[in-house]
Amino acid sequence: MQNTTSGPALIAVAVVGLVVRQQLRTRPVRRTGSLIAPVVLGVLGVAGLAFGIASVDEHDPLTVPAVVLLVASLAVAASFGAARARTVQIWRGPGSEVLRKGTAATTGLWFASAATHIGLALWTDRAAGAGLLGAASLYAYLAIGLGTQNLLVRRRAAAL
């Protein structure tokens, strides 16, 4: 029997690792730059969700508990994004540009968010009975979480 969860888990670890690494760098708060990654992840998320739904429908109809868990997972992503936004340091640099940098708390919340998504994805897949809906929601989860975080960081930066 083939292990179908190791591939998505490795991808999740790699993607979260790259995002966290980027978060810990000092970088300017840009007007649109912080929205490019969430948009790209959102496009991948829509494709992933379509794949996930198709993988479930191939065996059985999509169940209400699976949909509720998926929606809850995406709401949790937004909550983690809002929490992380409060942990990002924002200040004016020497050239009056607004800079940002994540903290240890930002990193901790990223890893907690990843662990929560893995748990909810497994629960969603179990509720669906078949397929990979939960695992396929990774990019949508990241898009919503990162998008929420970036929008709130930009709002805080604009207040400086």
Spans of all domains in the chain? 6-158
Q: Which candidate, 41, 31, 19, 25, places its Cα nearest to that of 151?
A: 31
Are the beta carbons of 128 and 66 closer than 8 angstroms?
yes
Average pLDDT of the residues in 50-65: 87
- Element of type H or E holding 153: helix 138-158
Average pLDDT of the residues in 19-43: 86
Q: What is the pLDDT of residues 81-110, one digit of tens each?
A: 999 999 999 999 998 899 999 999 999 999
Show the tokens assigned to 60.
């059985």
Tell me how long the chain is. Answer: 160
Model's pTM, two decimal places?
Answer: 0.86
Average pLDDT of the residues in 69-77: 96
Which string of DSSP letters, residue by residue, matches 73-114?
HHHHHHHHHHHHHHHSEEEE-TTS-EEEE--HHHHHHHHHHH
In the prediction, which pLDDT does 1 show? 43
Q: What is the pLDDT of residues 114-139, one digit of tens each?
A: 899 989 999 999 998 888 888 889 89
Q: Which candidate, 160, 129, 5, 120, places its Cα nearest to that of 63?
A: 129
Name the percent of the chain lying above pLDDT 90: 55
